[in-house]
Amino acid sequence: MNNDELTYKDSDGSLVVIMQAVHKLLRSYRQLESDSTEAAGVLIGERRGRHIVICDMSEPGKGDIRNRFGVNRKGLHHQAKVDLVFERSDGAQQYLGEWHTHPENLPSPSSIDENSWRLNLANHKPMILLIVGREGLWIAKQNGNVISPLTMME
């Protein structure tokens, strides 16, 4: 996993692109130390037809509750960032989903993660779920209640 832009593909052929700057920033929150805590934020970007480009994100900050195993994205700055980017881009860039870290090499969602997404993230449009591990990313699309992991394109 290097710092380049990443492209993922859904089973229907639609793409999800993570821009380089976002990927780099996500990587900076990897839980590489034994005492580093989970981090979380929102994903921001554009829907281009059925494709999604993740161009921006919010970072951990004041009000968030961060533990080794678990994070609660309570800070008010996350929504503020979404509002700011939405305005600056004339509505082109919007809230796309959630990211957080796990202290495992190749991450996978916990049942708490899945329950929380199904409860809070159901939308008429597909949403993006992303977990940053120490070596790899786990990324999925949520359509209503259905969570489908995406595969990285070579």
Q: What positions carry a catalytic annotation?
A: 38
Q: How far is the CB of 138 from Zn ion (least distance, A)?
A: 9
Find the helix or strand (DSSP H, E) in which 129 lies.
strand 127-132
Instruction: Give yes or no for residue 113 binding Zn ion (CB under 5 A).
Output: yes
Nearest CB to Zn ion, comparing residues 79 and 110: 110
Instruction: Give yes or no for residue 98 binding Zn ion (CB under 5 A).
Output: no
Q: Residue-wise over 96-109: b if at least 16 C-beta within 10 A, else e?
A: bbbbbbbbeeebeb
Instruction: Give yes or no for residue 59 binding Zn ion (CB under 5 A).
Output: no
Nearest CB to Zn ion, comparing residues 26 and 53: 26
**CB atoms inside a 10 Å sphere around CB 19:** 16
Q: How far is the CB of 100 from Zn ion (least distance, A)?
A: 5
> Which residue minimizes CB distance to Zn ion?
113
- Taking alpha carbons only, the member of 36, 22, 61, 45 closest to residue 128 is 45
Footprint of Zn ion (CB under 5 A): 110, 113
